[in-house]
Chain A
Amino acid sequence: MKRYFIPHRAGIIATVLCVLVTVGVNLYLPYLMRLVIDGLTEQTLGKAELGRLLAIYLSAGVFSIYFSRQLRKIPLKLSHKIEYALRTDVFEHLTRLDQEFYRGERTGDLMTRMSSDINMIRDAIGQGLLQGIRTIGVLIFASMVMMLTEPKLAGLVFALYIPMVVIFFLLLKVMRRHQKELQEHVSEVSNFSQESFSGIRTIKGFALERRRNGQFKKLNRDLVKKNMRLQASRQSLWPFMAFWFSLGMILILNIGGRKIIEGKLTLGTLTQFIQYLLYMQWPLLALSWTMSLVQRGKVSWTRVKEILDKEPSIKENGTVEPVARVSDASICFQDLKLQIDGRTFLKDIDLKIPSGTTLGITGPTGSGKTLLVSLVARLMDPTEGAVLIGNEDIRDMPLVQLRCMIGFAAQEPVLFSRTLEHNIGFGVEKPDKNLIGWAAEIAHLRNDVENFPDQFQTVLGERGVTLSGGQRQRTAISRAIARRPDILILDDVLSAVDTQTEAAIMSKLQPVMAERTTLFVSHRVSTLRYADRIVVIEDGHITQQGTHEELIRRPGYYAELNTMQQLEEKLEAGS
C-alpha cells in the first residue's frame, strides 16, 4: 500500500497545510467576534475600529474558504488517483494470471473486488486523510486555544464531549448491528423472491401462489419489524446529539454567566467559547464514521491484495529470447499426465503429429479432449511429461512466441462486444480488409455478414447483433485462421452448425488445414473423416487410433458413433 502513497507525498503535505490554515482561521474568527462584542459592551469601540475588525474578519474568512475548498479537493482527488493506479495494477496483474487462477474464481467475485472493494479503499484513503488530519488538527489547536482563553470552561467542554463521543460511538455500533440484521433479512427476502420467480413453473404447476404469497407476507412483515428496530437507533442519533449540544450550551451559559455577573468574564469571551463548542462538534462525530470507513477499507485491501499476491503458474522458463523461428510445426505429446487438484484427467498420452498433418480427436463428453488441446497452447502445464513443438519443449519458448504460432477456436467461443471486423482480426497486429474477408469466406460467414446491418462493422453482443451459436463458432474459426498460424486448433467448433454448412466449411477449410498442423476435436464422424489420423480418448487416455477407414471396422466407440450418426442422417433425410 505504501508505494501508492509515495508519489503523493506533496498532496499529503498540502492537506496538512490546509488543515493548519483553516483551523487557525476558524479559531481566530471567534476571537474577532469577542473583540467586537466586548468593544460594544464596554463602549470602547469606534466606527473606524469596528470597520477595521470587520475588514480583517472578511479577508480572513475569504482566505480560509479557499483553503477549506483545497482541503477537500486535494485529498479526494488524490484518493481517486490512487484508486486509478491500484485498479490499473490489479487489472494488469489479472491479464497475466492463467487458467489455474480463473478456474477457482467466479467472475462475479472478481468484479466485486475490482469495483466495490477498490472503491471502498479509495473512500477510506480520501476520507481518512481528510477527516483524520482535520480532526487531529482541530482537537490539538482548539484545546490549546480554549485552555489559554479560559481553562475552567475548557475543562467543562472536554467533560461534555468525551462522553458524547463515547455514546455516539456506541449508538453507531448498535445501529450497525441492526443494520446487519436488516441486511440479512433483506437478502432473505430477495432470495425468496428470486426463488419464487425462477421456480414459477413449479409454483404455478402445484398452484402454490397463495401459500407463497402468505410466506412472503410474513417475510415482508418481519422486514418492517427489523427496519423499525434499526430506525429506533438511527432516528435517535440526531436528536440525541442536538440535545447533548443544547445541554453543553446551557451549562456554559450558566457557569460562564455567573462569572459575567460576578464580573470575572466578558460576554465576548463567552461567545467565543460557544463558537468553539460548535466548531469542535462535527470533526469529533466524523471521527467515528471515518474510523469505520478505514476499517472497511482495510478489509477490502486484503481482498484486493489476494489477487496481487497470486503468481501465474505458467511461467516463462529461462531466457525470454525467442528461439529461432520453428520451421517444423510438428507436435509431440511425450508420456503426458495431467492432474488438477489431485484428480487425474489425462494419462499415458504419447502422440506424434507430423508437421502439416491433421489429427482428429473424439470421445465422450468430459473425457479430456479439450484439456489435451489446451496443453499445446500452454493454457496449463502437464503434471508429467512434455509437449514439444518442432522438437522444442514448449516450456522453453517465450509464451508470446508460442501463442503466435497457434490459431485456437473453442466450442463455446468468447466474442467481444465490438465490431465483427475487430473480432475476426482479434489476433492480428494490423488486420486489413482482404484478410478479414478471406477468413470470413473460409468459415462460411460471408452470407451471414451480408445480412448484418453494417456488414463487418456490425457490433456484436447485447447492444448489437446477437449471433447464433453456429455463427459464433464460425466467427471463432475466422478469428483463428486470420492469424495464419502454423498450428490450428479447432475444439469442437462445428457442433452448432447444421450438416450442410458443416460440409461447406470443411471443403473450404481443407486447403487451409493442409498447409498447417491441425488438431481438431469433434463428435461428428462426417468431420472426423477428413483427418489424416483419428484418436479416441475415453476417460483420460487413448483407447483407439487410426484412420477413419480403419476405425469404422474396429468395434469400439468410433464404430458405435458412426452407426448412430448414420441412423440420425436417415431420420433427417426422411423429414
Chain B
Amino acid sequence: MKMAKRLLAYSLPYWRALTIAFGLILFTSLAINYLPVLIQRLTDQCLMNTASPAAERIDLLLKLSILYISIAAAGHGVRYLQGILTAWIGQRIIYDLRLEVFQKVLRMQQAYFDKTAVGTLMTRVTSDIERLQHFVTEGVVGTVADLFMLLGIMGYMIYISPVLSLAIFITLPFIFAYMILINVKLRNANRDIRDRQSKLNALLQEDLTGMTTIQLFNREAATMADFDERHTHLRSAYFEEVRWFSLYFPTVEGGQMLAILLILAVGGLFILKGSETITLGIFVAFLAYIRDFFRPLGSLSDKAGSFQVALASIERVFALLDSSEEVNDPPEPESPERIAGSIAFNNVWFAYNDDNWVIKDLSFAVEPGQVLAVVGATGAGKSTIINLIGRFYDVQQGSVSIDGTDVREFGKHDLRSRLGYVFQDPFIFTGSVADNISLQTPGIDRPDIVRAAKTVNAHRFIEAMPKGYDSVLNERGAGLSLGQKQLLVMARTLAQNPELLFVLDEATASVDTATEMLIQDALAKLMANRTSIVIAHRLSTIRHADRILVMRHGELVDQGTHDELMARDGYYRQLYELLLHSPE
C-alpha cells in the first residue's frame, strides 16, 4: 500500500491532466450510454406509436437518428482524446521515473556494480518500469474508466426501467464472482506456465551448451528423457490454462443469454399483463445495454489481483532508488585550479570485503611529473591503488592525498575529470570514432581529435576506415582489433588532457608485434610530462619508469629504479626474469 501511495506521488505533478482525464471519462460514459435511451425513444415514439401520422413519425425518426449519430461521434471522439491523454500521463510519469532510475544507477559506487549483474540493472530500467507504466495507465486509470462505464450503464438502466434492471442485477454478483474465479485460475495457470517454461529453458540451455559432453558420454537417450519430463510438465500447465480460458468467453456468452432471457421473460409477462411500465422500446434498449455491460465487467475481473505482479516490480524499483551510494561528496569540496601532481599514500589499509585486506599499511609518494610503475604477481593489489586514487572505493584506514589534500575532500566528479585512465579492457562507446575520442567534451574540436590520434599512432588506421573519423563504431567496437581499440582509447585519454594518468597495462596475447610497438610508443608519449602510475607488465614500460614499486600480497616489498632493484637480486629480479621468459 505504501508503495502504491509513493507511486501515486509521481502522478501528483500531473493532477490537472488527470482531473481532465477523469472528466472526459465521465463525459464518455454519460454520452455513449445515453444512446440506448435514444433507441428506446425512437422505438416507442416513432416505430410503435401507431397513433400519430406516418409523416410525423418519419420526421422524428430522422431527427432522433441525427441526434444519435452526433452523440455517438462526440462520445467516441472524447473517448479517443481521453485515451491519448491517459497514455500521455502514463508516459510522463514513466519518463520521470526511468530518468531517475538511470541517474541513480550511474551515481552508485563501484562496489555496487561488482555485486550487481548488468542484466539485473537492465531489468529495472526496462521491464520493471514497463510494468509500472502498465499499472498506471491500464491499472489505475483503466479501473476508473471501467467503473464509470459500468455505473453509467447501470444508472441509465435503472432510469428507464427499475424492474428489468433489478431482475438483471440479481444475477450479476454470481456471474462476476465466476469471472473473477476464472481469472484467478488463469493467472495461476499462467504463473505455472512461466515457471515451467523457465525450468525447461534452463535445462535446454544447459543441454545445448553441453551437447558435446552428452554425445561423448552416450547420454542422448537419458537427456531426452529428462527433457521430456519437464516438457510434459509444461504441457500440462498449458492444458490447465486452456481449461479455464475455454470457460471465459462461454461464461460471458452465458451471462448475456441469461440476461436476454430475463428481459424476455420479465418484460414479456409485464406486457402480457397489459402493464404500461415496460414498452417494446425499453425491451430493445435493454438488449443493447446487455451487450455493453460485460466488457467493463470482464476487464474489471481481470484487474482484480493483477496488481500483485505490478507491485513486485514497483517494490524492486523503489528499493533501487532507496539504496545508499556510500561514497559521498563533502559538503564543500576542494577544487584547486590545477593539480601539480604529487600523490601520497599514508598507511593505507583497504579490503573489498570484510577483513580480506588487499592493501596492507601501504605508504609511498609520487612527485609531480614522475612515472611510477607498480609490479607484482596477480592479486598483489596493484590495480586497487588506482581504484583508491579515483575514489572508486574509499580507504578503510590511512589516507590517499593529491597535492597534500585528502582525496575524500574532493568532489568525485571534479576529481575524476582531472584523472585519465587507460584500462586493460578498452571500452568503446556506440558512436563515431571522433566522439569516442572527444567524449563530446566541450572544447575538444576536430583538430584536437586528429592531433591526439596522430600522437598515439591511431590516425593511420582511422583514416583507412570507410568514413574516417566519422565511422560509426558499435557494440564495443566490433570490427576493430584489440590493438586498434587500445590505441583509440589512448587517443581518447590524451585528448582529455588529464592532470594525472593511470595506466593498467596488461600484456595482451592477441596483439601482433607491429601493433605492440605502436602501443608502447603511444604509452610513452601519453606519460611524457605527466604524473603517471602504471600497473606494468611490459618490460619496456617498467624499465623506463622513474621509480618502481614492488608489491606482494598487498604489501610494499621494495622500491627503487630498475637498476637499483636488479642489483639487489631479490623478488623483483625473479619477477623480471619470469616476464622475460613468458612466451606471450
Which residues of A line the B interface, CB within 8 A? 29, 33, 36-37, 40-41, 45-47, 50, 53-54, 57-58, 61, 64-66, 68-70, 72-73, 76-77, 80-81, 83-84, 87-88, 91-92, 94-99, 102, 107, 110-111, 114-115, 186, 189-213, 216-217, 220-221, 223-224, 227-228, 231-232, 235-236, 238-240, 242-243, 246-247, 249-250, 253-254, 257-258, 260-262, 267, 270-271, 274-275, 278, 364-365, 377, 379, 400, 403-404, 406, 408, 410, 413-414, 416-417, 426-427, 479, 483, 560-561, 563-564, 567-568, 570-571, 574-575
Question: Interface size (B, Cβ < 8 Å)?
Answer: 128
Contact flag A231-B581 (CB < 8 Å), given A61-B257, A73-B243, A102-B212: no
Q: Return A282 CB to nearest CB of chain B, in Å.
A: 10
- Is B293 engaged at the interface, CB distance under 8 Å to the other chain? no
Collect the chain B residues with CB atoms within 8 Å of residue A574's CB: 571, 574
Query: With A227-B91, A257-B61 as given contacts, are A200 and B110 in contact (CB-CB < 8 Å)?
Result: yes
CB of A111 within 8 A of CB of B578, answer: no
- Complex Cα gap A417–B126 (Å): 29
Q: Report yes or no: B247 in contact with A69, Cβ–Cβ below 8 A.
A: yes
Q: How far is the CB of A496 from chain B (nearest CB, A)?
A: 14
Question: Closest residue of chain B to A84, judged by CB?
Answer: B235
Q: Which residue of B lies closest to A122 (CB)?
A: B238
Q: A57-B264, A193-B102, A267-B280 are in contact. Are A102 and B581 (CB under 8 A)?
A: no
Interface string of B201-221 (1 = CB under 8 A from A): 110111111111111111110
Q: Which residue of A lies closest to B116 (CB)?
A: A197
Residue picked from A41, A235, A271, most chain B C-beta under 10 Å: A235
In the bound assembly, the distance between CA atoms of A189 and B126 in angstroms comes to 9
Let me know if B421 and A206 touch, CB within 8 A.
yes
**Cα–Cα distance between A228 and B264 once the two chains are bound (Å):** 46
User: Do B47 and A257 have beta carbons less than 8 Å apart?
Assistant: yes
Could you say which residues of chain B place their CB within 8 Å of the CB of A257?
Answer: 42, 46-47, 61
Q: What chain B residues lie within 8 Å of A84 (beta carbons)?
A: 231-232, 235
Q: Known A95-B223, A224-B92, A239-B77; judge A54-B265 contact (CB<8 A).
A: yes
B239 partner, pick from A65, A77, A236, A571, beta carbons under 8 A: A77
The answer on a CB contact under 8 Å between A261 and B58 is yes
Report chain B residues within 8 Å CB of A221. 95
* Contact partner, A204, options B69, B206, B416, Cβ 8 Å: B416
Whose C-beta in chain A lies nearest to the C-beta of B43?
A267
Which of A72, A250, A267 is within 8 Å of B246, CB to CB? Answer: A72
Q: Measured between C-beta atoms, what is the minimum distance from B217 to chain A in Å?
A: 3
A202 and B113 CA atoms in complex are apart in Å by 13
Q: Mark B105-143, 1 if CB is under 8 A from A, else 0.
A: 111001001000010011001100000000000000000
- Contact check, B95 vs A220: say whether CB atoms are below 8 A apart: yes
Bound together, the chains give a CA A237 to CA B520 distance in angstroms of: 64
Tell which of A72, A110, A247, A427 touches B69, judged by Cβ atoms closer than 8 Å. Answer: A247
Is B79's beta carbon under 8 Å from chain A? yes
Between A and B, 21 residue pairs with Cβ closer than 8 Å are A33-B287, A40-B271, A50-B264, A73-B246, A80-B238, A84-B231, A88-B227, A198-B427, A200-B106, A213-B106, A243-B72, A249-B39, A250-B65, A254-B65, A258-B58, A261-B57, A267-B47, A271-B287, A414-B210, A414-B212, A574-B574
Chain A residues within 8 Å of B575, by CB = 571
Complex interface: chain A residues within 8 A of B213 (CB): 410, 413-414, 426
Q: How far is the CB of B5 from chain A (nearest CB, A)?
A: 25
In the complex, B197 has a CB within 8 A of chain A: yes
A413–B122 alpha-carbon span in the complex (Å): 30
Chain B binding surface SS class: helix
A400–B218 CB distance below 8 A? yes
Shortest beta-carbon distance from B189 to chain A in Å = 12
Q: Are A29 and B578 in contact (CB under 8 A)?
A: no
Query: Which residues in window 64-88 of B have CB below 8 A to A?
Result: 65, 68-69, 72-73, 76-77, 79-80, 83-84, 87-88
Asked if B574 and A267 sit within 8 Å, CB to CB, the answer is no
Given contacts A41-B48, A206-B417, A403-B215, contact A61 B80 (CB under 8 A): no
Q: Check A40/B272 contact, CB under 8 A, given A236-B80, A261-B47, A261-B61.
A: yes
* Most chain A CB neighbours (cut-off 10 Å) among B42, B61, B216: B216
CA distance A243 to B265 in the complex (A): 31
For B207, the chain A residues whose CB sits under 8 A away are 91, 95
* Residues of B contacting A81 in the complex (Cβ-Cβ under 8 angstroms): 235
Known: A205-B416, A220-B98, A574-B571. A45 touches B268 (CB 8 A): yes
Q: Which residue of A lies closest to B88 (CB)?
A: A228
Q: Which chain B residue lies CB-closest to A523? A: B583
B228 at the interface (CB under 8 A from A): yes
Q: Mark B47-63, 1 if CB is under 8 A from A, else 0.
A: 11000001001100110
CA distance A278 to B552 in the complex (A): 83
Residues of B within 8 A of A417 (CB): 202, 206
Across-interface contacts of A97 in B (CB, < 8 A): 211
Q: Which 9 A-B pairs have the closest CB atoms?
A: A235-B83, A427-B217, A414-B210, A72-B246, A246-B72, A207-B417, A207-B416, A239-B76, A73-B246
Residues of A within 8 Å of B260, CB to CB, are 29, 33, 57
* A72-B249, A377-B216, A571-B578 as given contacts; A228 in contact with B87, CB under 8 Å: yes
Q: Are B80 and A235 in contact (CB under 8 A)?
A: yes
Q: Is B30 an interface residue (CB 8 A)?
A: no
A563's closest neighbor in chain B, by CB? B581
- The CA of A365 and the CA of B582, in the complex, are separated in Å by 13
Q: List B contacts of A72 (CB < 8 A).
A: 242, 245-246, 249-250
The one of A98, A209, A400 in contact with B106, judged by C-beta atoms closer than 8 angstroms, is A209
| Across-interface contacts of A568 in B (CB, < 8 A) | 578
Query: B84 to A231, Cβ gap below 8 A?
Result: yes
Question: How far is A114 from B42 in the complex, measured between Cα atoms in Å?
Answer: 58
A379, B217: Cα distance in complex, Å: 12
**A-B contacts besides A212-B106, A254-B61, 17 pairs, CB < 8 Å:** A57-B257, A72-B245, A88-B227, A91-B227, A94-B211, A102-B208, A190-B125, A191-B430, A193-B126, A206-B420, A216-B102, A223-B98, A239-B79, A242-B72, A253-B65, A258-B58, A427-B218
Residue pair B429, A50 in contact (C-beta under 8 Å) = no
Q: Which residues of A contact B253 (CB under 8 A)?
A: 64-65, 68
Inter-chain CA distance A216–B416, complex, in Å, is 21
Across the interface, name the chain A residue whose C-beta is closest to B32: A242
